[in-house]
């Protein structure tokens, strides 16, 4: 990742003294550049991010195009956006200070413009003071601590400049008694598709339901979904349900048809962007929970291998799970 430009604006709703920066962040400062890179990388790999497209009347899109054609500077474009955000967040009754970090960066062959809302935290710090010929350490409270890059971000947007495709996350805020999503509805004015995390959850649930309907083991069906996620992540950043269904239900046209019909009704698109890390994380383990309260966490690929685990159906309708080839058991 190459950060080309970055700028920070401060929206202070408590004192009502906001700062709309006129100059960019000095990226020769390694600490600042590292913080910005980690924040942008986190947004790119967020499995909860939704994909969208701009509506024709989006003023944000018009400003973005002016920035891309150099009719607006980065400082001008970002400040205009920050001012609009300030207006909507004020209407939503925001009280805590919020910083808005903007960045223009390149990843492989694509160029992105991204921004995220950084909620300020309070923290305690030490400081050394001197007086009356003495030096002492005091404890002071700081009101403008930026969140760590590892902390969850609930409002952000990434725009791929060549395709104008949007990836975003937002939370509902109350404006005039109505719950609204500020970013997609009011600022960006864009459509909203399911996130990668939502798509994975839906695909697993539908696969399990179709398997159960046809008297098959739902745990094995889900494990096939998980294994496909890992294998697919090695070659593609998107998941195609048409390919997945063949891996899960083989040559059964009836089960394939039911699966595709169900996910179509749940508005799962033909191609779902899923970050590699999210796919690998979702596909690594599978939890099995019985109606007797027993929980087992199993590597997903083992569920298709009877040398490690086997499901035995009994005439009375109950089920047994046999764990095999165990060298030792470790209590944790």
Reported as a single tens digit per residue, the pLDDT across 56-113 is 999 999 999 999 999 999 999 999 999 999 999 999 988 788 999 999 999 888 999 9
For the chain, the average pLDDT equals 88
Residue 139, classed as helix, strand or coil, is strand
Question: Above 80 in pLDDT, residue 279?
Answer: no
Phi, psi of 55 (to 5 degrees): -80, 155
Q: Which two tokens stand for residue 2?
A: 């190459």
| Cα 17-112-165 angle, rounded to 5 deg | 105
Reported as a single tens digit per residue, the pLDDT across 234-246 is 788 888 888 889 8
């Amino acid at each position: 990742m190459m950060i080309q430009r970055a700028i920070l604006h401060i929206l202070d709703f408590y004192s009502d003294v906001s700062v709309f920066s006129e100059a960019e962040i000095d990226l020769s400062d390694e600490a600042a550049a590292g913080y910005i890179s980690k924040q942008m990388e986190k947004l790119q790999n967020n499995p909860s991010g939704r994909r969208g497209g701009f509506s024709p009347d989006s003023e944000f899109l018009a400003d973005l195009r002016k920035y891309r054609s150099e009719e607006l500077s980065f400082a001008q474009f970002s400040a205009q956006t920050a001012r609009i955000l300030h207006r909507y967040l004020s209407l939503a009754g925001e009280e805590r200070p919020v910083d808005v970090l903007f960045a223009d960066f390149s990843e492989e062959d694509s160029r992105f413009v991204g921004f995220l809302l950084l909620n300020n935290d309070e923290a305690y710090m030490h400081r050394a003071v001197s007086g009356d010929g003495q030096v002492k350490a005091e404890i002071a409270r700081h009101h403008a601590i930026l969140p760590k890059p590892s902390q969850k971000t609930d409002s952000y947007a990434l725009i791929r400049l060549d395709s104008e495709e949007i990836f975003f996350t937002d939370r509902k805020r109350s404006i005039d008694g109505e719950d609204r999503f500020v970013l997609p509805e009011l600022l960006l004015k864009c459509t909203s598709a399911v996130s990668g995390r939502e798509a994975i959850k839906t695909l697993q649930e539908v696969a399990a339901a179709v398997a159960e309907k046809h008297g098959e083991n739902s745990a094995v069906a889900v494990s096939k979904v998980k294994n496909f996620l890992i294998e697919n992540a090695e070659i593609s950043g998107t998941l195609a349900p048409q390919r997945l269904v063949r891996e899960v239900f083989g040559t059964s046209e009836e089960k394939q048809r039911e699966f595709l019909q169900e996910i179509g009704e749940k508005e799962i698109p033909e191609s779902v962007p899923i970050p590699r890390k999210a796919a690998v994380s979702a596909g690594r383990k599978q939890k099995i929970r019985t109606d007797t309260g027993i929980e087992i966490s199993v590597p997903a690929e083992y569920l298709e291998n009877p040398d490690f685990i086997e499901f035995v159906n009994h005439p009375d309708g109950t089920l047994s799970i046999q764990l095999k080839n165990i060298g030792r058991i470790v209590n944790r």
